[in-house]
Amino acid sequence: MKKAGIWSLPVLVAALGYFVDIYDLVLFGIFRIPSLKAIGLEGDQLETVGHLLLNIQMIGMLVGGFFWGILGDKKGRLSVLFGSIVVYSLANILNAYVATEMQYYILRFFAGFGLAGELGAGITLVAEVLKKEDRGWGTTVVATIGVSGAVFAGFLGNYLDGTHTAFGYVLNWKTGYLIGGGLGLALLLLRIGVFESGMFEVAKKGKAVMGNLNTLFGKKENIKKYAYCILAGLPIWYGVGILVFFCPELGEEMGLAKENIKTGTAVMYAYAGVTIGDFLSGLLSQVFKSRTKIIKAFIVLTACAVAAYPYLGSLSVTWLYIVCLLIGGFSGYWAVIITTSAEQFGTNIRATVTTTVPNFIRASLTPISFIYIAFFQSALGLKKVPAAMWTGVIVFIIAMYAASKLKETFGKELDYLEE
């Protein structure tokens, strides 16, 4: 079976697809305040509706994860790479024209639904077309190039503030959504020359049962492996979804001037860190020939960065951004956790697993937000910062336990089926 190189077209196309994916994923966090103000919201609504919209987007990703994952196992990895990008590109373009809360809710759901297929299908394809010794390098390339899309989004977020114009048009949050949609549609042209996974073709010709959820959830051992992959990634979206996206509100409680804290800048710093972290975690997993050791090490380092958040972050806005950089960098084991997920399961359900795991991790922001707001703030009466820290304690305990249960998969042969 012919194998591709690390810098082959499937790897580069998957990387660029993830670039557009992550650009859109953080876009709402960046444009939350100006876009919500544009539809008439103000005051506390900017935070409460912001949390709700973010959660609706994550629910869309959860639903989409199963849809695209099963489609990827039944119809092929390329069907997802083409279909998902069309859905989220169109949703992005329409997001630029929202006028009501309900329209925003609907479009963020569909944006999340479309985004759900991109990373999982790309990682699955890359894992199956590369040599087993090169898988870690290929997925590292995908993740490193991909997460830099958030840095690009953060940069644009600061520029598209309504004070600049181009060709007679005001450049604002609407422009950001239109750029995301345009990038996605342009990427479709690059995907024409990408070839399907040989492992998938062989498995399908062999009449294997493809994309059957009973294969995944019918065995206790598979359910455990699946759950451990998800839970080990909880700190990634806790850090970004709580501490970075809502740093203006948290920074204000720590004594900083809220108007001086820009979410776009915080996201840019955080994902600059994630870009570096993804590269380093992938590199270290190859050097030490271990996925699980690197995952556990990065969870511990992320916990240390989070513990420093209320202390260093309260010194100045600059230090707050630096802490966001550290949290992003140490939570940059995204490539390794998704690669591990792909390596845990057979070809007939690999796309389902690899597509749903990252979306469950992302959707975990919904229960994490509930614990943060409803339990620690509302029920126990804690302020935002201590509530965020105690939420982190729960997240890190669960993640470390799950990581300790993951089986090592470095160098594992992937050409097999789940019975």
In the chain, where the domains are located: 9-191+199-405
Q: What is the pTM of this model?
A: 0.81
The CA distance from 279 to 253, in Å, is 34
Q: 9-191+199-405, which class in CATH?
A: mainly alpha
Matching residue, tokens 């270290």: 284
Whether 145 shows a pLDDT value over 80: the answer reads yes
The CA distance from 282 to 141, in Å, is 9
Residue 20 CB: number of other CB atoms within 10 A? 27
More confident residue, 195 or 404: 404
CA neighbor of 354 nearest in space, from 332, 339, 365 = 339
Give the pair of three-digit tokens for residue 178.
């239109």
Residue 206: its pLDDT value, please?
65
Give the pair of three-digit tokens for residue 44.
């506390």
Please give the backbone phi and psi of residue 169, each rounded to the nearest 5 degrees, phi first.
Answer: -105, 140
Contact 251, 378 (CB under 8 A): no
The CA distance from 118 to 88, in Å, is 10
Give tens-digit pLDDT for 26-73: 788 788 889 999 999 988 888 889 888 988 988 898 899 889 888 888
Contact 242, 391 (CB under 8 A): yes
- How confident is residue 3, by pLDDT bands cut at 50, 70 and 90? low
Q: How many C-alpha atoms does 219 have within 13 Å on its Cβ side?
A: 10
Whether 200 shows a pLDDT value over 70: the answer reads no
Give the pair of three-digit tokens for residue 148.
């830099």
Tell me the one-letter amino acid at 53.
L
